[in-house]
Chains A and B, each alone.
Chain A
Amino acid sequence: MPELGLIIEVVLIFIKVYIVGMILFMLPLPLTWLERKVAGRIQVRLGPHRVGPKGLLQPFADMVKLLLKEDIIPDKADRFLFKLAPLLAMIPAFAVFVAIPVGDTFTIPGIDYVFKLYISDMNVGVLYVLAIGGLGIYGIIFGGWASNSKYSLLGGLRSAAQMISYEVALSFAAIGVVMMSNSLSLVEIVKSQGGGFWNWNLFYLPVGPVWFLIFFIASLAEINRIPFDLPEDEGTLGSGFHTEYSGMRFSFFMLAEYIAMVTISVLAVVFFFGGWMPPIDPATFGIKVPAQIMSVWGIGWFIAKVVVFIYIFMWIRFTLPRYRYDQLMTIGWKILIPVSLITVLVTGLMRIFLT
């Protein structure tokens, strides 16, 4: 008979996974609405405004539409892979969130139970997030190949090449973060940035902002968003890897894309903007705030920072034009990687001589 404490821990993990999963499934609903409203505002039009107040029910209308649409599988498609691809795109996007901390711990008053505000604090968290996040690419590659359509195939090919190129720069950015924070665990990385906004990795001068820029550009490319969305370049490729997809399978790809955007925003916050740490810690001024209030306050800050990033991603999408393919490769190989190599050197020297 296992101990009661162990059973409670296991049950809690299941509950946490369930809650995180539900939130992630629901998240694209407000995000699609927000994205269209942002698009409308930037392009000086209204955006959705007919279904419900301010068009708030538009995502639900879309959901009904996608559910009811006929699900078409092309005749010569590889049926097994065609069905598998949307799931392959979606599962890694969810799996990444196992390692994401939204806060440190919350001590439940009265019973003194320490509730962890993350599912798992892995000692290789950074590697896990990058490795699992990178697997989403298979959905795109297999989807493109299984459709048996030239546009889809080209979309998948571009995606593979793009991902290989930018994965290098993204890993370098992660190395930079690990060097600045001295840990591979995401919880430790956030803790190393505590105490005030001047301790955030972004302000680890002079290399912090450089790392952030490398991370930001590489991750934009990694999640195939404008200005790097060549795999679904509608001007030349139909709609790229998901040309042949319709109905619910198509919406799985969209779901994965939105969650990938959230993932990148979350990672940017954890890596560079101090995670759940508020910009100014009351403790620095000698003001004592109960730990419970600080935890909840921290979660608020975490969500606020993530929302800002999501907004920035949408803003970029409707502001910048798409890069040409050769420009994409030039940015990846000839600019980002050499700059990262130099910055690794500078960061290493700083770690040796300044600490």
Chain B
Amino acid sequence: MIEQIFFYIFAIIAVVSAIAVVTSKSPIHSAIALIITLLQVAAIFILLRSPFLAAVQVFVYVGAVVVLFLFAVMLLDLGGEKIKEQFHQQTVLGVISSVGLFVVLLFMLSRGSLTAPTGGYTEAVLAKNTEVIGKVLFTKYIYPFEVVSLLLLVALVGAVVLVLNQKGKDGV
């Protein structure tokens, strides 16, 4: 009961601030709204008995990713007026892809059930949450895990290659 009340508090704040992310004019204010959304998601992870994911969510997303966003925003001095320019010629594509995403989401919602049965883990096992995640990640899901690592490596190398090309053009 109490858990549900908390869930609704977090969920409502998360949705409201998520809307604020896309509606606010200043990119810095968007970033603040994004921080609030991510913190609410972390809180929901705690309600789901997953403190490890919650801590990682705060650590990685709030602590690092949004800081990088802010760094880019401040470095490029993105103001309100420049945000509009970023949608140039992509309005149609943007609408199509977001409507498509919603259709897929609705389809999945209509097929699945909203209340999933709890997994096979008891409260006692969940107290060692981190250990459980670690073991599952490196045994059962080792293949997807390695694929994700490879993907990240590709992105990393790609970023370096792009920067190197840029340097060559400027003659540096």
Contacts and interface: CB of A to CB of B under 8 A. Distances in A.
Contact of A122 (B51, B70, B71): B51
Nearest to A122: B51
Interface in A124-146: 124, 127-128, 130-132, 134-135, 137-138, 141-142, 145
Interface stretch (A37-45, A158-166, A194-202, A314-322): A158-166
B13 interface: no
A348 to B, nearest CB: 13
B35 A184 contact: no
A72 B124 CA distance: 54
- Size class of the A contact interface (CB-based, 8 Å): 20 to 34
Contacts of A123: 51, 127-130
Given A123-B128, A123-B130, A131-B58, A141 B52 contact: no
Contacts of A157: 71, 74-75
Interface in A162-202: 163-164, 167, 171, 184
A153 interface: yes
Contact of A161 (B52, B71, B127): B71
B55 A128 contact: yes
A123 B35 CA distance: 24
A167 B26 CA distance: 27
Contacts of A153: 74
Size category, B interface: 20 to 34
B101 interface: no
B67 A164 contact: yes
B56 interface: yes
A141 B70 contact: yes
B164 interface: no
Contacts of B26: 78
A144 to B, nearest CB: 8
Given A123-B127, A124-B51, A81 B63 contact: no
Nearest to A146: B28
A163 B67 contact: yes
Contacts of A131: 55-56, 58-59, 62-63
Question: Looking at chain B's contact residues, is the secondary structure mostly helix, strand, loop, or mixed?
Answer: helix
A156 interface: yes
B161 interface: no
B132 to A, nearest CB: 11
B60 to A, nearest CB: 8
B64 interface: yes
B68 interface: yes
B58 A156 contact: no
Contacts of A128: 55
A131 B26 CA distance: 26
Interface string A198-236: 000000000000000000000000000000000000000
Contacts of B128: 123
A127 B74 contact: no
Please indicate which of the listed interface residues B35, B54, B55 has the most CB atoms of chain A within 10 Å of its own CB. Answer: B55
A333 B56 CA distance: 22
Contacts of A161: 71
B149 to A, nearest CB: 15
Given A81-B28, A156-B74, A157-B74, A127 B55 contact: yes
Interface of B: 26, 28, 32, 35, 51-52, 54-56, 58-59, 62-64, 67-68, 70-71, 74-75, 127-130
Given A127-B52, A132-B58, A161-B71, 10 more contacts: A122-B51, A123-B127, A124-B130, A131-B56, A137-B63, A137-B67, A145-B28, A145-B70, A145-B74, A157-B75
